[in-house]
């Protein structure tokens, strides 16, 4: 339960290969080994010929019966290009060459500092250009949109970085990993402020108190921990779940904590006393592990998603299930609430985004995808919601009409997380392909 602190540990400045462009989309070819990109060039000719018209006519008159044939001598050939057969394009049944060209890359900035799959991304609430990313290479990075010559590497950990979040004032960054540790970084100096210890298993998620430098984290060992990040001290530990604590957060007023677990229960806690106020489980609640949750802005309702394909709305004060939202046919992966409407959005591995009318507990509309929906983000106070999908694309939907307004391509593998910049101009996505991409929002 101890915390180690340091005020003098500085991160090194790392300059990875980053390609920034605020121009039109480019057609690119991927080199899977190192994630570099290059323009695709196709070389068709193998022989360059210079015909002597008079000689050609003479040859034709001697062999008039061979119409359409052209005879070449050594003087006609001005150069040869040797081509490996493997480099030649395949020819289909229609005898037309088929060239393998990757999709258009719509991103305006590509970050390639990581050397493995990426799992998490966070945008700073006070600096619209500052982004943090983490993944399976056991590293985290701080970098800025449009500044391809600068990135700061957070020292390597013992296991994957799977949760990153900035404090409400943007001053601190908390990094959670499967090594069971929370690292807190001072954003302005880039120094490690403290390392928070306690959990006996990997960290599933990390959240900040909405009004202070208090860190909350859920662990694979079925516990939840809370620390004071300014002092690097332990505040409380919450136990009671019977499985990994897969999701959780403070209520927006900071007075309550809600956590969901693999044990198919939601627990509601008093953060000061550690008292377990309510346990929500059994019929009519979830029958399988919880995967995600969100809390309404007035701190009264918790909305949870599960592997059992269902979504439930719980009254935080009473601990009672208010309503059940049943329409998905596969695991719920993400939930988000609209700022200006009484609507919730849910994404599922059934390839669908569903917009729910919470006032009437009904489906408002359904948006079909090509693959599972892993993450989502409402775009400010607008009616638009962005989704990240296992097909590697980011889509922007109009929740009023159900129309797909924009599709952003570029990733070659499933998207794991997305975030929207504080000014609403940029969307950043991270993928299993090992890259982070920035897309310009309208």
CA distances from 393 to 56, 194, 366, 373, 380 (A): 55, 37, 18, 10, 20
| Residue 11: CB atoms within 10 Å | 17
CA diameter of the chain: 105
Q: Average pLDDT in the 267-295 region? A: 98
What mean pLDDT, rounded, does the chain reach? 84
69 vs 180: which has the higher pLDDT? 180
Q: What is the pLDDT, as a whole number, of residue 149? A: 82
pLDDT in tens, 384-395: 999 999 999 999
Contact 45, 174 (CB under 8 A): no
What is the Cα–Cα distance from 369 to 404, expressed in whole angstroms?
10
Q: What is the pLDDT, as a whole number, of residue 51? A: 34
Q: Average pLDDT in the 360-386 region? A: 98
What is the Cα–Cα distance from 367 to 81, expressed in whole angstroms?
51
Helix (H) or strand (E) holding 206: strand 203-208
pLDDT in tens, 404-419: 999 999 999 999 999 9
What is the Cα–Cα distance from 129 to 421, expressed in whole angstroms?
7
How many residues are present in the chain?
442
Residue 158 has pLDDT above 80, yes or no: yes
- Phi, psi of 59, rounded to the nearest 5 degrees: -60, -35
Q: Average pLDDT in the 115-120 region? A: 97
Contact 292, 350 (CB under 8 A): no
pLDDT in tens, 89-113: 444 444 433 334 456 899 999 999 9
Strand partners, 143: 131, 151
Nearest of 186, 187, 227 to residue 209 by alpha carbon: 227
Written as six digits, the tokens of 44 are: 């068709």
Q: What is the pLDDT, as a whole number, of residue 178? A: 96
CA distances from 400 to 137, 338, 354, 381, 427 (A): 40, 12, 12, 13, 21
Percent of the chain predicted with pLDDT > 70: 77
Of the pLDDT bands very low, low, confident and very high (cuts 50, 70, 90), residue 442 is confident
Domains in the chain, ordered, with CATH? 3-12+105-440 (2.130.10.10), 47-98 (no CATH)
Contact 276, 268 (CB under 8 A): yes
Residue 1 has pLDDT above 90, yes or no: no
Q: What is the pLDDT, as a whole number, of residue 103? A: 66
- Phi, psi of 39, rounded to the nearest 5 degrees: -70, 140
Written as six digits, the tokens of 239 are: 């136990």
Residue 23 has pLDDT above 70, yes or no: no
Q: Average pLDDT in the 326-339 region? A: 98
Contact 175, 201 (CB under 8 A): no
pLDDT in tens, 278-291: 999 999 999 999 99
For residue 77, the SS3 value is strand
Q: What is the pLDDT, as a whole number, of residue 102? A: 52
Nearest of 364, 386, 337, 438 to residue 128 by alpha carbon: 438
Nearest of 344, 264, 338 to residue 303 by alpha carbon: 344
Contact 135, 146 (CB under 8 A): no
Q: What is the CA radius of gyration of the chain?
A: 28
Residue 330 has pLDDT above 90, yes or no: yes
What is the Cα–Cα distance from 435 to 417, expressed in whole angstroms?
12
119 vs 4: which has the higher pLDDT? 119
pTM listed for this prediction? 0.78
Exposure of 341 in the CB half-sphere (CA atoms within 13 A):
22
Peptide bond into 284 cis (omega under 30): yes
């Amino acid at each position: 339960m101890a915390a180690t602190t340091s005020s003098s540990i500085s991160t090194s400045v790392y300059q990875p290969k980053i390609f920034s462009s605020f121009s039109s989309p480019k057609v690119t070819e991927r080199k899977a080994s190192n994630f570099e990109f290059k323009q695709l060039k196709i070389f068709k000719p193998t022989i360059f010929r210079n015909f002597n018209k008079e000689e050609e006519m003479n040859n034709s008159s001697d062999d008039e019966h061979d119409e359409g044939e052209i005879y070449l001598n050594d003087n006609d050939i001005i150069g040869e290009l040797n081509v490996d057969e493997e480099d030649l394009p395949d020819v289909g049944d229609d005898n037309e060459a088929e060239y393998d060209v990757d999709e258009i890359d719509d991103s305006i900035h590509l970050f390639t500092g990581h050397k493995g799959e990426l799992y998490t991304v966070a945008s700073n609430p006070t600096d619209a250009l500052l982004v943090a990313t983490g993944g399976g290479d056991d590293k985290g990075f701080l970098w800025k949109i449009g500044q391809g010559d600068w990135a700061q590497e957070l020292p390597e950990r013992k296991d994957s970085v799977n949760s990153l979040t900035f404090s409400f004032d943007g001053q601190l960054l908390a990094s959670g990993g499967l090594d069971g540790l929370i690292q807190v970084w001072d954003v302005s100096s880039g120094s490690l402020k403290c390392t928070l210890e306690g959990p006996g298993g990997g960290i599933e998620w990390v959240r900040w108190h909405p009004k202070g430098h208090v860190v909350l984290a859920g662990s694979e060992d079925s516990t939840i921990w809370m620390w004071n990040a300014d002092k690097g001290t332990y505040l409380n530990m919450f136990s009671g779940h019977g499985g990994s604590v897969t999701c959780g957060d403070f209520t927006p007023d900071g007075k309550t904590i809600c956590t969901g677990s693999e044990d198919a229960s939601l627990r509601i806690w008093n953060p000061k006393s550690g008292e377990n106020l309510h346990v929500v489980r059994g019929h009519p609640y979830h029958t399988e592990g919880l995967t995600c949750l969100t809390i309404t802005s007035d701190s009264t309702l918790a909305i949870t998603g599960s592997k059992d394909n269902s979504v439930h709305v719980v009254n935080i004060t009473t601990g009672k299930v208010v309503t059940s939202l049943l329409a998905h046919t596969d695991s719920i992966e993400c939930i988000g609430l609209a700022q200006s409407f009484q609507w919730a959005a849910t994404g599922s591995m059934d390839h669908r985004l569903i917009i729910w009318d919470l006032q009437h507990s009904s489906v408002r509309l359904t948006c079909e995808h090509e693959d599972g929906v892993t993450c989502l983000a409402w775009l400010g106070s607008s009616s638009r919601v962005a989704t990240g999908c296992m097909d590697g694309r980011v889509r922007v939907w109009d929740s009023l009409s159900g129309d797909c307004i924009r599709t952003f391509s570029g990733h070659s593998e499933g998207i794991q997380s997305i975030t929207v910049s504080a000014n609403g101009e940029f969307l950043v996505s991270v993928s299993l392909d090992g890259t982070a991409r920035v897309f310009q929002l309208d």
